[in-house]
Amino acid sequence: MIERIDHVSIAVRDYEKARAFFQDILGAVPGAGAADDSLKFFWQIFTLGDMSRLELITPTGPGSYLEGFLKNREGGAHHITLQTPDIRDARRRLEEKGVPYFGFREYGDFWKELFIHPRDAFGVLIQIAEFRADDWISETVKFPAGKKWEVRRTGDGVAITIAHPGGGKATIALDRNEADRLADDIRKSIG
């Protein structure tokens, strides 16, 4: 039902201060972001390292749904987003197991979501969503469409970078002996 944790969402009062911390100090790479006028908030996805992501969310005006959450704090972890390959199947499974959910929405083919309230999920607001992860991250942290790997020579071996099915890419460095063993294992597996 769940493929992976996609990101942790952090609600903040001061978006610029939080952005500077995560981007300028920790090196997060900004990806997609937009304002949601109906809920009065702005969101932006950031990538850290090979495949870790976080989302900053901040109110854009009075009446934002984040007002209650931020009433007595500058910021904090708001929710975690779990990726599912099929939101309708996830919804059906929750119903079968008697797990209440709310906020089921489909935004065309690019985003479908529902939420599980913290009282029903051990104190954590959970967003379950169906989407293509690469649609939300910077071009600098993903492979071009259709490419799945890249091999680069390093001083004493190779660096292999692979496209991750959850979006982005991951790199592993192998010395010459490890690279030879990997090549042998591949040859043996395909006969």
pTM: 0.84
Whole-number pLDDT of residue 32: 94
69 and 87 part of one domain: yes
Q: Checking DSSP bridges between strand 52-59 and strand 4-12, what pairing results, if any?
A: parallel
166 and 76 part of one domain: no
| Number of domains, the chain | 2
Which CATH number do you get for residue 103? 3.10.180.10
**Gap between the Cα atoms of 117 and 64, Å rounded:** 18
Q: Do residues 66 and 9 lie in contact, with contact meaning Cβ atoms separated by under 8 Å?
A: no
Whole-number pLDDT of residue 31: 94
Could you tell me the maximum CA-CA distance found in the chain, to the nearest angstrom?
64
Quick: pLDDT tens for 158-173.
999 998 877 888 899 9
Q: Is the pLDDT of residue 144 over 90?
A: no
175 and 101 part of one domain: no
Q: Do residues 35 and 41 lie in contact, with contact meaning Cβ atoms separated by under 8 Å?
A: yes
CA separation, residue 76 to residues 18, 57, 69, 79 (Å): 11, 10, 9, 9
Ranking 3-17, 121-135, 155-169 by mean pLDDT, the lowest is 155-169
159 and 101 part of one domain: no
- Give the count of alpha carbons within 13 A of 116, CB side only: 21
Task: Kindly state the average pLDDT of the residues 169-190.
Answer: 94
155 and 84 part of one domain: no
27 and 64 part of one domain: yes
176 and 130 part of one domain: no
Q: Is the pLDDT of residue 186 over 80?
A: yes
Reading the block at residue 4, the tokens are 């992976």
CA separation, residue 99 to residues 75, 93, 118 (Å): 28, 9, 12
103 and 157 part of one domain: no
Q: Is the pLDDT of residue 180 over 90?
A: yes
Task: Kindly state the average pLDDT of the residues 145-153.
Answer: 91
Average model confidence (pLDDT) across the chain: 94
Look at residues 136, 156, 175 and tell me which one is the last residue of a structural domain.
Answer: 136
The amino acid sitting at 56 is: L
48 and 89 part of one domain: yes
Q: Which domain holds residue 147?
A: 143-190
109 and 157 part of one domain: no
Q: Is the pLDDT of residue 51 over 80?
A: no
